[in-house]
Protein backbone atom coordinates (compact mmCIF):
# COMPACT_ATOMS: atom_id res chain seq x y z
CA UNK A 1 0.00 0.00 0.00
CA UNK A 2 1.54 3.36 -0.96
CA UNK A 3 2.09 5.95 1.72
CA UNK A 4 0.72 9.47 1.37
CA UNK A 5 3.09 11.76 -0.52
CA UNK A 6 2.26 14.55 1.90
CA UNK A 7 -0.58 15.25 4.25
CA UNK A 8 -2.63 18.28 3.32
CA UNK A 9 -5.61 17.13 5.39
CA UNK A 10 -8.00 19.14 3.19
CA UNK A 11 -11.29 17.54 2.24
CA UNK A 12 -12.16 16.89 -1.40
CA UNK A 13 -15.54 15.58 -2.56
CA UNK A 14 -15.49 13.58 -5.80
CA UNK A 15 -18.80 13.18 -7.64
CA UNK A 16 -18.88 9.95 -9.67
CA UNK A 17 -17.16 6.61 -9.05
CA UNK A 18 -16.43 5.50 -12.61
CA UNK A 19 -12.85 4.85 -13.69
CA UNK A 20 -12.23 8.60 -13.88
CA UNK A 21 -13.72 9.55 -10.49
CA UNK A 22 -12.27 6.52 -8.68
CA UNK A 23 -8.82 7.31 -10.10
CA UNK A 24 -9.15 10.95 -8.99
CA UNK A 25 -10.20 9.78 -5.51
CA UNK A 26 -7.28 7.32 -5.32
CA UNK A 27 -4.64 9.85 -6.33
CA UNK A 28 -6.05 12.52 -4.02
CA UNK A 29 -6.09 10.14 -1.04
CA UNK A 30 -2.54 9.06 -1.84
CA UNK A 31 -1.54 12.72 -1.88
CA UNK A 32 -2.82 13.24 1.65
CA UNK A 33 -6.28 14.65 1.00
CA UNK A 34 -9.31 13.50 2.91
CA UNK A 35 -11.56 12.14 0.15
CA UNK A 36 -15.28 11.50 0.01
CA UNK A 37 -16.42 9.68 -3.13
CA UNK A 38 -20.13 9.86 -3.98
CA UNK A 39 -22.19 7.85 -6.43
CA UNK A 40 -25.69 6.30 -6.30
CA UNK A 41 -24.24 3.08 -7.76
CA UNK A 42 -21.24 1.06 -6.60
CA UNK A 43 -17.81 2.07 -7.99
CA UNK A 44 -17.29 0.97 -11.59
CA UNK A 45 -20.88 -0.09 -12.16
CA UNK A 46 -21.96 2.53 -14.68
CA UNK A 47 -20.31 3.18 -18.09
CA UNK A 48 -16.99 1.97 -16.70
CA UNK A 49 -18.50 -1.48 -16.11
CA UNK A 50 -19.18 -2.72 -19.61
CA UNK A 51 -16.67 -1.15 -21.97
CA UNK A 52 -14.40 -3.06 -24.33
CA UNK A 53 -11.71 -3.15 -21.60
CA UNK A 54 -8.92 -1.82 -23.83
CA UNK A 55 -6.18 0.60 -22.85
CA UNK A 56 -5.84 2.09 -26.31
CA UNK A 57 -3.14 4.78 -26.56
CA UNK A 58 -2.87 4.89 -30.34
CA UNK A 59 -6.49 5.97 -30.78
CA UNK A 60 -5.82 9.67 -31.09
CA UNK A 61 -7.81 11.00 -34.04
CA UNK A 62 -11.20 12.67 -33.39
CA UNK A 63 -14.61 11.38 -34.49
CA UNK A 64 -15.40 14.54 -36.41
CA UNK A 65 -13.23 15.12 -39.48
CA UNK A 66 -13.65 16.63 -42.96
CA UNK A 67 -16.16 14.52 -44.89
CA UNK A 68 -17.70 12.70 -41.90
CA UNK A 69 -21.08 14.31 -42.59
CA UNK A 70 -21.21 12.63 -46.02
CA UNK A 71 -20.71 9.21 -44.40
CA UNK A 72 -23.42 9.63 -41.76
CA UNK A 73 -26.54 9.04 -43.99
CA UNK A 74 -25.08 5.71 -45.19
CA UNK A 75 -24.40 4.59 -41.61
CA UNK A 76 -27.89 5.61 -40.50
CA UNK A 77 -29.64 3.82 -43.35
CA UNK A 78 -27.89 0.50 -42.66
CA UNK A 79 -29.82 -1.38 -39.92
CA UNK A 80 -26.56 -3.13 -38.96
CA UNK A 81 -24.60 0.15 -39.27
CA UNK A 82 -22.34 1.66 -36.61
CA UNK A 83 -24.52 4.71 -35.81
CA UNK A 84 -28.10 5.30 -34.86
CA UNK A 85 -29.95 8.46 -33.82
CA UNK A 86 -33.25 8.41 -31.95
CA UNK A 87 -34.98 10.92 -34.20
CA UNK A 88 -37.50 12.02 -31.58
CA UNK A 89 -34.52 13.24 -29.50
CA UNK A 90 -32.88 15.12 -32.38
CA UNK A 91 -33.92 18.67 -31.32
CA UNK A 92 -32.07 18.26 -27.99
CA UNK A 93 -29.03 16.83 -29.78
CA UNK A 94 -28.75 19.55 -32.43
CA UNK A 95 -26.47 21.97 -30.50
CA UNK A 96 -24.01 19.15 -29.85
CA UNK A 97 -24.20 17.92 -33.46
CA UNK A 98 -23.56 21.45 -34.68
CA UNK A 99 -20.43 21.72 -32.49
CA UNK A 100 -19.36 18.24 -33.58
CA UNK A 101 -19.60 19.19 -37.24
CA UNK A 102 -17.83 22.52 -36.68
CA UNK A 103 -14.88 20.83 -34.95
CA UNK A 104 -14.19 18.53 -37.93
CA UNK A 105 -11.87 20.82 -39.88
CA UNK A 106 -8.27 20.01 -40.80
CA UNK A 107 -7.11 22.34 -38.03
CA UNK A 108 -9.60 20.76 -35.58
CA UNK A 109 -8.32 17.27 -36.39
CA UNK A 110 -4.69 18.33 -35.91
CA UNK A 111 -5.46 20.07 -32.59
CA UNK A 112 -7.56 17.21 -31.22
CA UNK A 113 -5.06 14.50 -32.24
CA UNK A 114 -2.20 16.35 -30.58
CA UNK A 115 -4.24 16.93 -27.42
CA UNK A 116 -5.13 13.23 -27.23
CA UNK A 117 -1.58 12.15 -28.02
CA UNK A 118 -0.24 14.16 -25.09
CA UNK A 119 -2.50 12.30 -22.65
CA UNK A 120 -2.04 8.95 -24.37
CA UNK A 121 1.76 9.06 -23.97
CA UNK A 122 1.25 8.92 -20.20
CA UNK A 123 -1.34 6.17 -19.89
CA UNK A 124 0.88 3.09 -19.69
CA UNK A 125 3.02 4.45 -16.86
CA UNK A 126 -0.06 5.65 -14.97
CA UNK A 127 -1.81 2.28 -15.34
CA UNK A 128 1.39 0.52 -14.22
CA UNK A 129 1.42 2.63 -11.07
CA UNK A 130 -2.23 2.26 -10.09
CA UNK A 131 -2.49 -1.47 -10.88
CA UNK A 132 0.65 -2.26 -8.95
CA UNK A 133 -0.32 -0.15 -5.95
CA UNK A 134 -3.83 -1.64 -5.79
CA UNK A 135 -2.57 -5.23 -6.22
CA UNK A 136 -4.25 -5.68 -9.59
CA UNK A 137 -1.38 -6.14 -12.06
CA UNK A 138 -2.62 -9.68 -12.73
CA UNK A 139 -5.79 -8.13 -14.23
CA UNK A 140 -3.98 -6.72 -17.28
CA UNK A 141 -2.69 -8.29 -20.49
CA UNK A 142 -0.13 -6.76 -22.89
CA UNK A 143 -1.31 -8.24 -26.16
CA UNK A 144 -1.85 -5.32 -28.51
CA UNK A 145 -4.90 -5.46 -30.79
CA UNK A 146 -5.63 -6.94 -34.21
CA UNK A 147 -7.44 -4.34 -36.34
CA UNK A 148 -9.51 -5.53 -39.31
CA UNK A 149 -11.00 -3.85 -42.37
CA UNK A 150 -13.51 -5.75 -44.54
CA UNK A 151 -12.11 -4.09 -47.70
CA UNK A 152 -8.70 -2.66 -48.46
CA UNK A 153 -10.42 0.49 -49.82
CA UNK A 154 -11.64 1.28 -46.29
CA UNK A 155 -8.09 1.24 -44.99
CA UNK A 156 -7.04 3.49 -47.85
CA UNK A 157 -9.86 5.93 -47.02
CA UNK A 158 -8.58 6.02 -43.42
CA UNK A 159 -4.96 6.64 -44.50
CA UNK A 160 -5.05 10.14 -42.98
CA UNK A 161 -5.45 8.58 -39.51
CA UNK A 162 -2.33 6.46 -40.03
CA UNK A 163 -0.37 9.46 -41.25
CA UNK A 164 -1.26 11.23 -37.98
CA UNK A 165 -0.25 8.17 -35.91
CA UNK A 166 3.10 8.14 -37.75
CA UNK A 167 3.63 11.86 -37.22
CA UNK A 168 2.85 11.66 -33.52
CA UNK A 169 4.84 8.48 -32.91
CA UNK A 170 2.17 5.78 -32.41
CA UNK A 171 3.14 2.41 -33.83
CA UNK A 172 1.05 0.23 -36.16
CA UNK A 173 1.95 -2.61 -38.51
CA UNK A 174 0.47 -4.56 -41.40
CA UNK A 175 -0.30 -8.21 -40.68
CA UNK A 176 0.11 -10.81 -43.41
CA UNK A 177 -2.74 -13.38 -43.66
CA UNK A 178 -0.29 -16.04 -42.44
CA UNK A 179 0.44 -13.95 -39.32
CA UNK A 180 -3.27 -13.48 -38.66
CA UNK A 181 -3.77 -17.26 -38.88
CA UNK A 182 -1.11 -17.80 -36.21
CA UNK A 183 -2.35 -15.04 -33.89
CA UNK A 184 -6.09 -15.72 -34.23
CA UNK A 185 -6.70 -19.05 -36.00
CA UNK A 186 -10.51 -18.74 -35.79
CA UNK A 187 -10.63 -15.27 -37.42
CA UNK A 188 -11.98 -15.21 -41.01
CA UNK A 189 -10.89 -12.12 -42.91
CA UNK A 190 -12.52 -12.90 -46.30
CA UNK A 191 -11.40 -10.17 -48.71
CA UNK A 192 -10.36 -7.98 -45.81
CA UNK A 193 -7.02 -7.05 -44.31
CA UNK A 194 -5.52 -6.70 -40.85
CA UNK A 195 -3.20 -4.41 -38.92
CA UNK A 196 -1.65 -4.70 -35.48
CA UNK A 197 -1.32 -1.95 -32.85
CA UNK A 198 1.31 -3.25 -30.40
CA UNK A 199 0.75 -0.60 -27.72
CA UNK A 200 -2.76 -1.67 -26.73
CA UNK A 201 -3.34 -3.52 -23.47
CA UNK A 202 -6.54 -4.86 -21.98
CA UNK A 203 -7.86 -5.53 -18.51
CA UNK A 204 -9.79 -8.66 -17.66
CA UNK A 205 -12.74 -6.89 -16.02
CA UNK A 206 -12.90 -3.07 -16.21
CA UNK A 207 -15.72 -2.78 -13.64
CA UNK A 208 -13.84 -4.90 -11.13
CA UNK A 209 -10.54 -3.07 -11.72
CA UNK A 210 -12.32 0.27 -11.12
CA UNK A 211 -13.97 -1.09 -7.98
CA UNK A 212 -10.52 -2.28 -6.83
CA UNK A 213 -9.12 1.24 -7.21
CA UNK A 214 -12.00 2.69 -5.16
CA UNK A 215 -11.63 -0.07 -2.52
CA UNK A 216 -7.94 0.72 -2.13
CA UNK A 217 -8.77 4.41 -1.67
CA UNK A 218 -11.26 3.49 1.08
CA UNK A 219 -8.78 1.11 2.73
CA UNK A 220 -6.45 4.09 3.14
CA UNK A 221 -9.07 6.27 4.78
CA UNK A 222 -11.23 7.53 1.91
CA UNK A 223 -14.96 7.78 2.59
CA UNK A 224 -17.60 6.18 0.35
CA UNK A 225 -21.10 7.60 0.19
CA UNK A 226 -23.66 5.77 -1.92
CA UNK A 227 -25.86 8.71 -2.84
CA UNK A 228 -26.65 11.04 -5.70
CA UNK A 229 -25.61 14.70 -5.47
CA UNK A 230 -28.58 16.92 -6.30
CA UNK A 231 -27.45 20.43 -5.40
CA UNK A 232 -24.04 22.04 -5.34
CA UNK A 233 -22.92 25.47 -4.18
CA UNK A 234 -19.41 26.80 -3.92
CA UNK A 235 -17.91 29.93 -2.41
CA UNK A 236 -14.28 30.93 -1.87
CA UNK A 237 -14.03 28.92 1.36
CA UNK A 238 -15.97 25.73 0.75
CA UNK A 239 -18.24 23.59 -1.37
CA UNK A 240 -21.68 22.53 -0.12
CA UNK A 241 -23.42 19.43 -1.43
CA UNK A 242 -26.93 18.17 -0.91
CA UNK A 243 -27.72 14.56 -1.73
CA UNK A 244 -30.83 12.68 -2.79
CA UNK A 245 -31.18 11.09 0.65
CA UNK A 246 -31.12 14.54 2.26
CA UNK A 247 -27.51 14.61 3.51
CA UNK A 248 -25.60 17.92 3.57
CA UNK A 249 -21.86 17.78 3.06
CA UNK A 250 -19.13 20.36 3.03
CA UNK A 251 -15.67 20.07 1.52
CA UNK A 252 -12.75 22.31 0.71
CA UNK A 253 -12.77 21.34 -2.97
CA UNK A 254 -14.93 19.46 -5.45
CA UNK A 255 -14.13 17.20 -8.42
CA UNK A 256 -16.96 16.67 -10.90
CA UNK A 257 -16.35 13.27 -12.53
CA UNK A 258 -19.95 12.34 -13.24
CA UNK A 259 -19.36 11.11 -16.80
CA UNK A 260 -22.31 11.76 -19.12
CA UNK A 261 -24.26 13.33 -16.24
CA UNK A 262 -21.65 16.02 -15.49
CA UNK A 263 -23.57 18.90 -17.09
CA UNK A 264 -26.20 18.59 -14.35
CA UNK A 265 -23.53 19.76 -11.89
CA UNK A 266 -21.63 22.12 -14.24
CA UNK A 267 -24.87 24.00 -14.93
CA UNK A 268 -25.20 24.80 -11.21
CA UNK A 269 -21.64 26.06 -10.83
CA UNK A 270 -20.64 27.50 -14.22
CA UNK A 271 -22.51 26.62 -17.42
CA UNK A 272 -23.14 23.52 -19.51
CA UNK A 273 -20.67 22.40 -22.21
CA UNK A 274 -21.21 20.35 -25.42
CA UNK A 275 -21.29 16.89 -23.82
CA UNK A 276 -23.49 14.13 -25.29
CA UNK A 277 -24.18 10.60 -24.12
CA UNK A 278 -22.92 8.45 -26.99
CA UNK A 279 -24.40 5.12 -26.12
CA UNK A 280 -22.67 1.84 -26.72
CA UNK A 281 -23.70 -1.74 -26.08
CA UNK A 282 -22.11 -5.05 -25.35
CA UNK A 283 -22.96 -8.72 -25.61
CA UNK A 284 -20.96 -10.79 -23.16
CA UNK A 285 -20.62 -14.44 -24.22
CA UNK A 286 -19.93 -16.80 -21.32
CA UNK A 287 -18.88 -19.78 -23.47
CA UNK A 288 -17.90 -18.48 -26.92
CA UNK A 289 -16.55 -21.84 -28.10
CA UNK A 290 -13.53 -20.22 -29.79
CA UNK A 291 -10.05 -19.46 -28.51
CA UNK A 292 -9.03 -15.83 -28.80
CA UNK A 293 -5.95 -14.44 -27.14
CA UNK A 294 -5.88 -10.95 -28.71
CA UNK A 295 -8.57 -8.28 -28.78
CA UNK A 296 -9.87 -7.81 -32.32
CA UNK A 297 -11.27 -4.46 -33.47
CA UNK A 298 -13.28 -4.07 -36.66
CA UNK A 299 -12.84 -0.61 -38.18
CA UNK A 300 -15.52 -1.42 -40.76
CA UNK A 301 -18.17 -2.37 -38.20
CA UNK A 302 -16.99 -0.20 -35.27
CA UNK A 303 -16.74 -2.74 -32.50
CA UNK A 304 -14.20 -4.68 -30.46
CA UNK A 305 -14.08 -8.31 -29.32
CA UNK A 306 -12.06 -8.69 -26.13
CA UNK A 307 -11.24 -11.90 -24.24
CA UNK A 308 -12.06 -11.21 -20.57
CA UNK A 309 -11.91 -13.36 -17.46
CA UNK A 310 -15.58 -14.34 -17.72
CA UNK A 311 -15.86 -14.83 -21.46
CA UNK A 312 -15.71 -12.89 -24.70
CA UNK A 313 -17.02 -9.32 -24.72
CA UNK A 314 -18.34 -7.92 -28.00
CA UNK A 315 -18.67 -4.16 -27.45
CA UNK A 316 -19.21 -1.07 -29.52
CA UNK A 317 -21.71 0.70 -31.78
CA UNK A 318 -22.93 4.27 -31.29
CA UNK A 319 -26.39 5.59 -30.58
CA UNK A 320 -27.34 9.18 -29.87
CA UNK A 321 -30.34 9.54 -27.59
CA UNK A 322 -31.48 11.41 -24.51
CA UNK A 323 -29.69 10.43 -21.30
CA UNK A 324 -32.79 8.86 -19.78
CA UNK A 325 -34.01 6.96 -22.88
CA UNK A 326 -34.59 3.22 -22.58
CA UNK A 327 -31.83 0.98 -23.97
CA UNK A 328 -32.50 -0.67 -27.32
CA UNK A 329 -30.90 -4.09 -26.98
CA UNK A 330 -31.31 -4.83 -30.67
CA UNK A 331 -27.99 -2.94 -30.93
CA UNK A 332 -26.32 -5.55 -28.70
CA UNK A 333 -27.77 -8.36 -30.85
CA UNK A 334 -26.39 -6.68 -33.98
CA UNK A 335 -22.94 -6.81 -32.40
CA UNK A 336 -23.24 -10.59 -32.03
CA UNK A 337 -24.07 -10.93 -35.72
CA UNK A 338 -21.01 -8.86 -36.60
CA UNK A 339 -18.82 -11.00 -34.36
CA UNK A 340 -20.12 -14.16 -36.05
CA UNK A 341 -19.17 -12.66 -39.41
CA UNK A 342 -15.51 -12.74 -38.34
CA UNK A 343 -15.75 -15.87 -36.18
CA UNK A 344 -18.23 -18.26 -37.87
CA UNK A 345 -17.57 -20.80 -35.09
CA UNK A 346 -18.65 -18.37 -32.37
CA UNK A 347 -21.37 -19.75 -30.11
CA UNK A 348 -23.95 -17.37 -28.78
CA UNK A 349 -25.21 -19.10 -25.66
CA UNK A 350 -25.02 -17.61 -22.16
CA UNK A 351 -25.14 -14.07 -23.50
CA UNK A 352 -25.78 -11.05 -21.29
CA UNK A 353 -26.46 -7.64 -22.80
CA UNK A 354 -25.55 -4.18 -21.53
CA UNK A 355 -25.79 -0.51 -22.49
CA UNK A 356 -23.49 2.33 -21.35
CA UNK A 357 -23.28 6.05 -22.11
CA UNK A 358 -19.91 7.36 -23.28
CA UNK A 359 -19.41 10.95 -22.10
CA UNK A 360 -18.58 12.48 -25.47
CA UNK A 361 -17.37 16.03 -25.99
CA UNK A 362 -18.20 17.50 -29.40
CA UNK A 363 -14.47 17.96 -30.14
CA UNK A 364 -13.55 14.42 -28.87
CA UNK A 365 -11.18 15.85 -26.21
CA UNK A 366 -11.92 15.44 -22.47
CA UNK A 367 -12.31 18.20 -19.91
CA UNK A 368 -9.56 18.11 -17.24
CA UNK A 369 -9.69 21.55 -15.77
CA UNK A 370 -10.33 23.93 -12.94
CA UNK A 371 -13.56 25.84 -13.05
CA UNK A 372 -13.30 29.16 -14.88
CA UNK A 373 -14.97 30.94 -11.97
CA UNK A 374 -14.21 28.99 -8.78
CA UNK A 375 -10.75 28.06 -7.60
CA UNK A 376 -11.99 25.10 -5.53
CA UNK A 377 -14.02 23.34 -8.29
CA UNK A 378 -12.39 20.94 -10.79
CA UNK A 379 -13.79 19.10 -13.79
CA UNK A 380 -12.79 15.61 -15.01
CA UNK A 381 -15.22 14.24 -17.58
CA UNK A 382 -15.90 13.86 -21.29
CA UNK A 383 -13.45 11.03 -22.01
CA UNK A 384 -15.73 9.55 -24.68
CA UNK A 385 -14.27 6.30 -25.99
CA UNK A 386 -11.19 6.45 -23.73
CA UNK A 387 -12.28 6.83 -20.11
CA UNK A 388 -10.75 3.52 -19.10
CA UNK A 389 -7.52 4.33 -20.95
CA UNK A 390 -7.18 7.85 -19.54
CA UNK A 391 -8.73 7.45 -16.05
CA UNK A 392 -5.49 7.13 -14.01
CA UNK A 393 -3.73 9.88 -16.01
CA UNK A 394 -6.69 12.18 -15.38
CA UNK A 395 -6.69 11.35 -11.66
CA UNK A 396 -3.03 12.26 -11.43
CA UNK A 397 -3.44 15.53 -13.37
CA UNK A 398 -6.45 16.63 -11.29
CA UNK A 399 -4.58 15.91 -8.04
CA UNK A 400 -1.67 18.06 -9.19
CA UNK A 401 -4.07 20.84 -10.19
CA UNK A 402 -5.76 20.80 -6.78
CA UNK A 403 -2.48 20.81 -4.92
CA UNK A 404 -1.14 23.66 -7.02
CA UNK A 405 1.59 21.58 -8.69
CA UNK A 406 2.34 21.53 -12.40
CA UNK A 407 0.63 18.46 -13.99
CA UNK A 408 3.06 16.21 -15.89
CA UNK A 409 0.90 16.70 -19.00
CA UNK A 410 0.34 20.19 -20.39
CA UNK A 411 -3.39 20.39 -19.75
CA UNK A 412 -4.21 23.69 -21.46
CA UNK A 413 -6.10 21.99 -24.29
CA UNK A 414 -8.48 20.22 -21.89
CA UNK A 415 -9.78 23.38 -20.25
CA UNK A 416 -13.48 23.75 -19.52
CA UNK A 417 -13.86 27.23 -21.01
CA UNK A 418 -12.55 26.30 -24.48
CA UNK A 419 -16.12 26.13 -25.76
CA UNK A 420 -16.72 29.79 -24.92
CA UNK A 421 -14.02 31.06 -27.29
Ligand X SMILES: Cc1cc2nc3c(=O)[nH]c(=O)nc-3n(C[C@H](O)[C@H](O)[C@H](O)COP(=O)(O)OP(=O)(O)OC[C@H]3O[C@@H](n4cnc5c(N)ncnc54)[C@H](O)[C@@H]3O)c2cc1C
Q: How many helices (H) and strands (E) does the chain have?
A: 12, 21
Report phi then psi at 126, rounded to 5.
-75, -35
**Within a 13 Å sphere around the CA of 240, how many CA atoms are in the beta-carbon half?**
6
Closest distance between ligand X and the C-beta of residue 3, in Å?
A: 26
Distances (CA, A) of 184 to 135, 180, 267, 403: 30, 6, 48, 47
Edge-first strand order for the sheet with 201-203 is: 54-55, 201-203, 140-141
> CB of 81 within 8 A of CB of 74?
yes
Closest distance between ligand X and the C-beta of residue 375, in Å?
A: 22
- Closer CB to ligand X, 184 or 203, in the complex: 203
- Closer CB to ligand X, 39 or 122, in the complex: 39
Closest distance between ligand X and the C-beta of residue 183, in Å?
A: 19
Closest distance between ligand X and the C-beta of residue 382, in Å?
A: 8
Distances (CA, A) of 104 to 35, 110, 115: 39, 10, 15
Closest distance between ligand X and the C-beta of residue 366, in Å?
A: 8
- Closer CB to ligand X, 67 or 228, in the complex: 228
CA gap 261, 247 in Å, rounded: 20
CA gap 279, 271 in Å, rounded: 23
- Closer CB to ligand X, 93 or 315, in the complex: 315
Rounding to the nearest 10 degrees, give the CA dihedral for residues 369, 370, 371, 377.
120
Closest distance between ligand X and the C-beta of residue 17, in Å?
A: 5
Closest distance between ligand X and the C-beta of residue 7, in Å?
A: 27
Closest distance between ligand X and the C-beta of residue 152, in Å?
A: 25
Angle at CA 18, nearest 5°, toward 394 and 144?
Answer: 65
Return the closest-CA partner of residue 139 out of 205, 213, 53.
Answer: 205
- Closer CB to ligand X, 256 or 370, in the complex: 256
- Closer CB to ligand X, 307 or 359, in the complex: 359
CA gap 296, 304 in Å, rounded: 6
- Closer CB to ligand X, 99 or 383, in the complex: 383
- Closer CB to ligand X, 298 or 389, in the complex: 389
CA gap 314, 296 in Å, rounded: 10
> CB of 320 within 8 A of CB of 276?
yes
- Closer CB to ligand X, 193 or 284, in the complex: 284
| Cβ neighbours of residue 386 closer than 8 Å, sequence gap 6 or more | 56, 59, 116, 120, 366
- Closer CB to ligand X, 40 or 311, in the complex: 40
Rounding to the nearest 10 degrees, give the CA dihedral for residues 315, 362, 299, 316.
10
Closest distance between ligand X and the C-beta of residue 316, in Å?
A: 5
What is the separation, in whole angstroms, between the first and last Cα of the chain? 44
Closest distance between ligand X and the C-beta of residue 219, in Å?
A: 20
Positions that interact with ligand X (CB under 6 A): 15-21, 38-41, 46-48, 51-54, 56, 228-229, 257-259, 261, 264, 280, 282, 315-316, 356, 358-359, 381, 383-389
Amino acid sequence: MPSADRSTGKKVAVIGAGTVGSSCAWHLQKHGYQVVLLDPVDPGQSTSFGNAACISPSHITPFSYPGVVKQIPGWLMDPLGPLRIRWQHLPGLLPWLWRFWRSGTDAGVAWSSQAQARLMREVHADWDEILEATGQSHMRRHKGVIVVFDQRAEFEAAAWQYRIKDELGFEWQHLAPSEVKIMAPALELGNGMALYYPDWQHVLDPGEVTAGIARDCMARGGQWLQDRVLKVEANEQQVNLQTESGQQLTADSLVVAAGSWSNRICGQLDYTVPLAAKRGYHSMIGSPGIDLEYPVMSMTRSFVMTPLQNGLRVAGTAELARLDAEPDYRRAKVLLRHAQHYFPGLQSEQVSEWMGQRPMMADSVPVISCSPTRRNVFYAFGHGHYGLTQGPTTGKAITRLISGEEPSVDIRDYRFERFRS
